[in-house]
Amino acid sequence: EAQVTQNPRYLITVTGKKLTVTCSQNMNHEYMSWYRQDPGLGLRQIYYSMNVEVTDKGDVPEGYKVSRKEKRNFPLILESPSPNQTSLYFCASSPTGVSYEQYFGPGTRLTVT
């Protein structure tokens, strides 16, 4: 089944403890992206990657890192999480190009205390 998977689905952590949220897709897509969703603010793009070793900032990249060493994986790294990064995170992927649809993962709910 074609899908985007995220792990973990739920995570509660403490301020300053480094964490990684993994994202993997099995559709051989070149493009991958991370979003966060907060009440009243909608979906906001954090980082995106057009292909392996190519990443770029979205609208809210502060406090996050990404890497794209393999085509299928696009992990989101929070090196020193803070409470304002408590949010619902979505990963998405699509083929290259403006006219293709994005496939979204199920989301990761992160709470930083």
Where do contacts with other proteins occur on this chain (CB under 8 A)? 31, 33, 35, 40, 42-45, 48-50, 56, 58-59, 90, 92, 97-99, 101-107
Minimum Å gap between C-beta 85 and other proteins is 19
Helix (H) or strand (E) holding 78: strand 76-78
Smallest distance from other proteins to CB 102, Å:
7
Shortest distance in whole angstroms from residue 64 CB to other proteins:
15
Residues 6+ apart with CB under 8 A from 42: none
Which one-letter DSSP state was computed for residue 72? S
3-class secondary-structure state, position 83? helix
The nearer residue to other proteins, 16 or 106, going by C-beta atoms, is 106
Decide whether 80 or 89 has the Cβ nearer to other proteins: 89
Give the bridge partners for 4, in sequence order.
Answer: 25
